Amino acid sequence: MKRTYFLQQLHSAFNTHPIVAILGPRQCGKTTLSRQYAASQPDVTFFDLEDSRDLAKLQDPALALASLKGLVILDEIQRVPELFPILRVLIDQANRQTHYLILGSASRDLIRQSSETLAGRIEYLELTPFSFQEVGEFEKLWLRGGFPLSFLANDENTSNRWRKAYIRTFLEKDIPNLGFRIAPETLRRFWMMLAHYHANIFNASELGRSFGVAHTTIEHYLDILTGTFMVRRLRPWIENIKKRQVKAPKIYFRDSGILHTLLGIETMNHLLSNPKLGASWEGFAMEEIIRAHHAEQEACYFWSTHTGAELDLLLFQNQQRLGFEFKYSSSPKLTKSMHIALETLKLDQLTVITPGNDQ
């Protein structure tokens, strides 16, 4: 599948920067996208930094990269962070006719220390799994999530098996490869526990007591899952009012299919009868709205007061305040809480998203 929007973003980014980074979770389509972009380029060199043969070619990276022209693609860049300062030297040389596309499975926060030497020379693009705008079929997308091999599987059993294998590989291979020293079973238990907090306020102390560890350890585990694009930490918006407002973040799984696998949900019937149905819909629909608006993380908030007024999602875009509520209902009503949010936050628009909005 050709992901036209992201290809356009790539072309635009290279007009202004010699280095572009595509960041996103493992197996969301970064390598495929890079090869689609490369098809339009005359000279391309590809390095897979998980391939021992390609790593051998880069034993002396400055020498290996210095003679290359055209497009150079470095896949899984977080595996070799020492490449970042070398890229800066190469870019700063006069008359360079090379541009670099680097692919990574860690967020900007996780690779910031390595990549800060490229400030002003690099543009970051985040690639997400498939969205509704790209594939339609909202029930299938909601149940399976947007990872290409999960969504495109021939049947539900194959899709479920793929997600279970993905989770296992993520815990046993990907996390250690990023340099984190945490037992796979420990992070699995935390991830499964976190699934029950999906769409809820995050309380590290409460989770720490349940898990038998300090709240700082819980925060560290959450940082790992947010830094690898598995979880969204949605920040609270604090309005200048006298009412007491919630100041802790909310937690959302970014892919509904991964959430469903950790909750043991395998079919649409299972989902529709599960107590987490409303929370699952809220997280799925929220991710779709954020993607449809191409909203940066810094523009996304929720709002809640201690007296019960709340707004699921507040987006700041084009000097407007856009509010969203997510309800799994065929006949949603404008509630008192919505009226309060409209007036208190001075919203330019309030939209209620239900499963019937998919058209």
- Do 15 and 91 have their domain in common? yes
What does residue 114 show for φ and ψ, rounded to 5 degrees?
-75, -40
Name the band, by pLDDT with cuts 50, 70 and 90, for residue 113: low
The answer to whether residue 78 scores a pLDDT higher than 70 is: yes
The answer to whether residue 96 scores a pLDDT higher than 80 is: no
- Do 59 and 191 have their domain in common? no
The answer to whether residue 340 scores a pLDDT higher than 50 is: yes
The answer to whether residue 334 scores a pLDDT higher than 90 is: no
- Do 193 and 64 have their domain in common? no
Of 76, 105, 126, which marks where a domain is finished?
Answer: 126
Name the band, by pLDDT with cuts 50, 70 and 90, for residue 116: confident
- Asked if 325 and 351 count as a contact pair (C-beta separation under 8 A), the reply is yes
- Asked if 19 and 122 count as a contact pair (C-beta separation under 8 A), the reply is yes
The answer to whether residue 332 scores a pLDDT higher than 90 is: no
Residues with Cβ within 8 Å of residue 210, at least 6 apart in sequence: 193
Q: In degrees, to the nearest 5, what angle opens at C-alpha 234 toward C-alphas 228 and 240?
A: 150
pLDDT at 90: 92
pLDDT at 110: 64
Distance separating the N- and C-terminal Cα atoms of the chain: 22
pLDDT at 237: 97
- Do 114 and 204 have their domain in common? no
Residue given tokens 């006069």 in the structure block? 94
In the predicted model, what is the mean pLDDT of the chain?
94
Percent of residues, the chain, with pLDDT higher than 90: 86
Tell me the three-class secondary structure of the chain, residue by residue.
Answer: CCCHHHHHHHHHHHCCCCEEEEECCCCCCHHHHHHHHHCCCCCEEEEECCCHHHHHHCCCHHHHHHCCCEEEEEECHHHCCCHHHHHHHHHHCCCCCEEEEEEECCCHHHHHHHHHHHCCCEEEEECCCCCHHHHCCHHHHHHHCCCHHHHCCCCHHHHHHHHHHHHHHHHHHHHHHCCCCCCHHHHHHHHHHHHCCCCEECCHHHHHHHHCCCHHHHHHHHHHHHHCCCEEEEEECCCCCCCCECCCCEEEECCHHHHHHHCCCCCHHHHHCCCCHHHHHHHHHHHHHHHHCCCCHHHEEEEEECCCCEEEEEEEECCEEEEEEECCCCCCCCCHHHHHHHHHCCCCEEEEECHHHHC
- Do 180 and 322 have their domain in common? yes
The answer to whether residue 95 scores a pLDDT higher than 80 is: no
- Do 87 and 160 have their domain in common? no
Q: What is the pLDDT of residues 233-280, one digit of tens each?
A: 999 999 999 889 999 999 999 999 999 999 999 999 999 999 999 999
The answer to whether residue 337 scores a pLDDT higher than 80 is: yes
Tell me the C-alpha to C-alpha distance, in Å, between residue 242 and each of 245, 249, 266, 302, 309. 9, 20, 45, 18, 13
**pTM, to two decimals:** 0.93
Residue 219 and residue 217: Cα distance in Å, rounded? 5
The answer to whether residue 356 scores a pLDDT higher than 80 is: no
Q: Which residues pair with 242 in a beta bridge?
A: none
- Do 182 and 40 have their domain in common? no
The answer to whether residue 353 scores a pLDDT higher than 50 is: yes
Of 101, 126, 151, which marks where a domain is finished?
Answer: 126
Instruction: State how beta strands 320-326 and 349-353 pair.
Output: parallel
- Asked if 319 and 331 count as a contact pair (C-beta separation under 8 A), the reply is no
Q: What is the pLDDT of residues 21-65, one digit of tens each?
A: 999 999 999 999 999 999 999 999 999 999 999 999 999 999 999
- Do 112 and 137 have their domain in common? no
Of 77, 107, 126, which marks where a domain is finished?
Answer: 126
Domain that holds residue 91: 4-126
pLDDT at 119: 86
- Total tally of structural domains belonging to the chain: 2
Token pair for 205: 């102390």
- Do 113 and 37 have their domain in common? yes
pLDDT at 231: 98
What does residue 151 show for φ and ψ, rounded to 5 degrees?
-65, -40
Name the band, by pLDDT with cuts 50, 70 and 90, for residue 359: very low
Name the band, by pLDDT with cuts 50, 70 and 90, for residue 197: very high
- Do 14 and 140 have their domain in common? no
- Do 284 and 159 have their domain in common? yes
- Do 336 and 189 have their domain in common? yes
Tell me the C-alpha to C-alpha distance, in Å, between residue 40 and each of 9, 43, 67, 73, 181. 14, 9, 21, 14, 41
pLDDT at 358: 45
Q: What is the pLDDT of residues 199-222, one digit of tens each?
A: 999 999 999 999 999 999 999 999
What would the mean pLDDT of 3-8 be, rounded to a whole number?
95
Q: What is the CATH number of the domain that holds 57?
A: 3.40.50.300
